[in-house]
Amino acid sequence: MGAMGEPAPDPIAQIVADRERARAAEDPFTDLCVLATADGAEPPGLRPLVLRDVGPQGVGLLVSATSPKWAPLEAGRYECLLVWLTVRRQYRIRGGLRPMPEALVDEYWRQKVLESRLLDLYYAEVQPQSTPVASRARFLEGIEALRRRHPTPECVPCPAVLRGVYLVPERIEAWRGSPDRLHDRHRYRRDGAGWVEEILVP
C-alpha cells in the first residue's frame, strides 16, 4: 500500500515510463544497466549489460555462460542497478531469476549486429569472456577467422552458452533526483500481485 492507504504505484511501470522519457531525450544509456555481483571469493564487481526488456515479466538480460558474471547471477548473488541520468532517475532492483523463453532469446539474437554475434561465438568457440589474451591483435585475428566463416549476421549460429534470463523484481528502490539535493526516494516490496511502498530519507 502507498500513502494514506492508497494502492502503491507499480514501480515497474514507472521504470518503463522513465525509459521512454529518457529515449525521447536521446539519452544514449537508455538501453544499459549495471549489474553488481559478489560471489564471496572475489571482491564485488560491476558490469554494464544491455537492458533487453523491462515489463511485468521482469528485467530481460542476455548473458554468456562463459562470463564471470554468470555464476553469481545463477546463484542469486547480484543486484541490478539501472540509471538514466538525463531524467534524474535511478532504480535498484533485487529479485529472483527465471529463464527467458527460447523464442524470445532467438528474437533478441536476431536483433544483434554481426560483430556482437561474432563476439558471442568467440566466447563459445575460441576463448571465454574476460580471460587473458596474448594481444589485442590476437583477439581480432580470432574474430576475423570467425567472420570469414560467417560473413553475414544470418550465418552466425546462436551459441549454446548464450543465456536469456529475467530478473523478476521482489524489491525496487527508486531515486528521483532533485536539483536542491533533497532527492525523492521510495522503496517497493512485492506483496502478492501488488506492491508495498515506503518513503525513504534521501
CATH code of the domain in which 99 resides: 2.30.110.10
Residue 128 placed within a domain: no
Determine the Cα–Cα distance for residues 138 and 10; give it in Å rounded to an integer: 49
Residue 72 placed within a domain: yes
Residue 134 placed within a domain: no
Residue 143 in 3-state DSSP? helix
Low-confidence ranges of the chain (pLDDT < 50): 4
The total of structural domains in the chain comes to 1
Helix crossing, 114-125 with 136-149: angle to 10°?
110
| 51, 100 Cβ separation under 8 angstroms | no
Domain that holds residue 181: 3-112+160-200
Residue 177 placed within a domain: yes
pLDDT in tens, 42-81: 778 888 899 999 999 999 999 999 988 888 888 887 888 8
Residue 149 placed within a domain: no
